[in-house]
Structure 1
Amino acid sequence: MAPVSLQWCAHPQLARDEALSWWLHRFAWANAISNHTLERQLFGGRAFWPRDVDRFAPVLLVDQCVSLLGLSKERMEAATLRRYEGVLYPRLTIDGWLPWIMPVGVFHRTQQHHGHAYCPHCLGEGRPMRVAGRLAFEIACIRHQCLLWDACPRCDAPVTFARVQLIMAGRFPCPACGANLAVAPRRPLVRRAFAFEHRCHAALRQGFSQVGTTRVSAVEFFAGTRILLRGLYGRRYLNGLTDTSTIRCLRWASAARPTTPFEHWRLQARLHPLAALEAYLRDWPKQFLRDARRSGVYRCRFESTAANPPWLANAMAEIEPALSHV
């Protein structure tokens, strides 16, 4: 391959935690070409924009980016969802459901789902879109202490960041309505949900988390908390853990609960269950067992195809199995 200086005029560097799709978008704009012109020059007739780039990230794309920047392959893969492989999920797949990863639902050049959260204040300051914005527990900006947004503040359309124009400093027009995505009302934090986000990032960073008096690995922590989410709320004829909780703020009206998988929920809807998880984990498993006995929840609500992590299985053993009530 020819030297980078002979091919491109500008070489924007990949920022820490920056999403690969956003960096490719910045790279194209910095060189005064469109995303699809960059796509053609890198791959010829092979298209990658009509896909979830941060999840799909073919080997050829990563190798080309390594050549452009001179960074290691591991550094480039850390800008994709592959950075969470082996922790949040055993293996990254290019389609289908993944625990804790919000889908974007790419359809041609648009997104169908609100699968990427962002901070308007960070965007206005020129900070890049973070790959962590795809995580279902990412609900607030640590830097600005405010809730994130998962859509345009004016029209509520999912934001396709690869279509956001970068031509004017400080202004990032929504591809759907033209409103400035960097200008949005500041929304107050939900402290318990924010604390759970802190707990999750600490687990990713350190490789372990403290659950009650037990230290568990990050893999067991994320697997167990995702299973817990399944039994928090009632469904059809099955009771939910929080339906009759002794902590009133954990109760949630059934009419407000989405029926889709948790990763598909809008940001405002995810706040309540994440706050409930934090409340249970703080004194695990005392409050959990109190609410389980009070609500009459069955053990089957927390069973999965894989074996439950030990810290969760030990608490499950004290809950009545459904067969004893038949």
Structure 2
Amino acid sequence: MATIAPFAFRPEPLPDELLSSWMLRTAAGMLMKPYDFTHTYWRSKPPALTRDIDRMAPANIITGMAEGTGIPLARAYQTTLGGYAGSLFGEMNAQGFAPWIMPVGVRHRSRQSFGQQFCPKCLAEDERPYFRRAWRIATSSVCVRHEVVLADRCPDCGESVAAHRSPRLDRCWKCECALRDAVTRVADPEVLRLQAGFELAIKNGWAVLGQGVVHFAPRYFLLVRQLLSLVSHGPRRTRFLRAIGEHRWAHRMPGGPIEPAGGIEYLTPSARHDHFAMVAWLLWGWPDLFVEAAQKAGIWQSWALKDMRDVPWDYQRAVRPDLVRASYQPTDGEISAAIGFLDRTRDRVWLDELVELIGDNKDLKQKGLVKFVNEFRVMAG
């Protein structure tokens, strides 16, 4: 790999600056257009800015930016989303789905999704406007400093952010409206407190949960993600939110459920903010408040663990003692009565009809279905 000579303009990354933002500031300082800058130094195919470089973090670009600006390679890497590995998630998946990383929907030079969030007040306050790395992750829905919900699109034309196509980093690429002019919504104090906790967990690598501590932050965020799943979609969602809403802290109910094809990463900052308001209440009183709400909503172990391939111990410890409901098994008498009813009201007794009346196949087999098949002529439909 060829070494890159020092750039004519060598800015260090600003606090929590995103790689793409740092690159765009460097190009502007050298009076170069973003595509000219990346082509001059990397000549990559496809061009660097037609990819999500913050997520993919190409080694040649990270190394080149470190060499060109004269900063340590480790510091350059921390401008990428991969720098969250070990604190927000276990390992970074640069190609497929990555939990908590908000997609920007790269298609050639365009950005078709709204994964680049921003705080209008931060951009207005910045002496040198730039994009923060935290604005690309779904745990961020508010600005703790300014106590407002983040924005994710142009306040005038509604287009997504594509700073590499803008005349200035803090302006809309299409209509050149100033992003700092976006109208902000005041954030819920509980969500501000929750996000401050998230930021500490990412920084320290561990998190406070109820009266205890989760010693590896990615396990904590797995638990948070499952709580978001329970409050965002599923047939028990409404009952769960109603159970949470009985308490004075949960005063704002989130809107409609997340579409199955999407996920928390595809919600607007405002929608995520409202979902986090529910999750905040569950986490403050963990695990008692969660167990209480789940029991009221009929969320037992099978649903509480739904779709979880990797279950954090702190979540298991809450679910397994208190949300285990002994499975119901029909008695021999109930099975006989059900078959007798079907035999009287149907020409034939079909197995699927029997299952609908008294339980699933496993329950029936455990009760010695063969005996009843021989006795009552149950037909396997």
Residue in structure 1 matched with residue 157 of structure 2 by the alignment: 155
Residues 104 and 113, structure 1, Cα contact 8 Å, conserved in 2? yes
> In the superposition, relative to structure 1, how do residues 215 and 45 fare at CA in structure 2: closer, same or farther (>3 Å)?
closer
The match for 2:276 among 274, 277, 284 is: 274
> In the superposition, relative to structure 1, how do residues 239 and 145 fare at CA in structure 2: closer, same or farther (>3 Å)?
closer
Amino acid at match of 1:34: K
Shift of 1:87: 2.6
Residues 87 and 201, structure 2, Cα contact 8 Å, conserved in 1? no
Q: Deviations over 1:254-287 (max 9, x none)?
A: x622212111111111012111111011111111
Shift of 1:113: 1.1
Shift of 1:203: 0.7
Amino acid at match of 1:216: V
Residues 151 and 184, structure 2, Cα contact 8 Å, conserved in 1? no
The alignment's C-alpha RMSD in Å is 2.2
TM-score normalised to structure 1 length: 0.90
The match for 1:299 among 298, 301, 325 is: 301
Note the 1:1-326 alignment, pairs <5 A.
1=3, 3-4=5-6, 8-46=7-45, 47-124=47-124, 125=126, 126-166=128-168, 172-217=170-215, 218-236=217-235, 241-245=240-244, 246-247=246-247, 249=250, 252=253, 256-259=256-259, 260-303=262-305, 304-317=307-320, 318-321=322-325, 323-324=327-328
Q: Deviations over 1:121-159 (max 9, x none)?
A: 222223421111011121222332222111111222211
Residues 239 and 296, structure 1, Cα contact 8 Å, conserved in 2? no
Unaligned runs of 5+ in 1: none
> In the superposition, relative to structure 1, how do residues 324 and 316 fare at CA in structure 2: closer, same or farther (>3 Å)?
farther
How many correspondences in the alignment?
Answer: 318
Shift of 1:307: 3.5
Q: Determine which structure has more spread, i.e. the larger CA radius of gyration.
A: 2
Unaligned runs of 5+ in 2: 330-358, 360-381
Amino acid at match of 2:18: A
Q: Deviations over 1:150-185 (max 9, x none)?
A: 11112222111222222xxxx943112221112222
> Equivalent residue of 1:210, what SS?
strand
Residues 300 and 322, structure 1, Cα contact 8 Å, conserved in 2? no
> In the superposition, relative to structure 1, how do residues 161 and 296 fare at CA in structure 2: closer, same or farther (>3 Å)?
same
1 CA distance for matches of 2:177 and 2:202?
35
Deviates more, 1:242-251 or 1:145-154: 242-251
Shift of 1:57: 1.3
Shift of 1:199: 1.0
1 CA distance for matches of 2:326 and 2:20?
46
1 CA distance for matches of 2:273 and 2:59?
36
2 CA distance for matches of 1:181 and 1:307?
40
Deviates more, 1:298-307 or 1:222-231: 298-307
2 CA distance for matches of 1:272 and 1:91?
28
1 CA distance for matches of 2:233 and 2:24?
43
Shift of 1:324: 4.7
Greater relative contact order (Cα < 8 A, sep 6+): 1
Residues 242 and 251, structure 1, Cα contact 8 Å, conserved in 2? no
Residues 62 and 73, structure 2, Cα contact 8 Å, conserved in 1? yes
> Equivalent residue of 2:201, what SS?
helix
Residues 152 and 181, structure 1, Cα contact 8 Å, conserved in 2? yes
> Equivalent residue of 1:235, what SS?
coil
> In the superposition, relative to structure 1, how do residues 2 and 81 fare at CA in structure 2: closer, same or farther (>3 Å)?
closer
> In the superposition, relative to structure 1, how do residues 324 and 276 fare at CA in structure 2: closer, same or farther (>3 Å)?
farther
Residues 233 and 241, structure 1, Cα contact 8 Å, conserved in 2? no
1 CA distance for matches of 2:327 and 2:76?
50
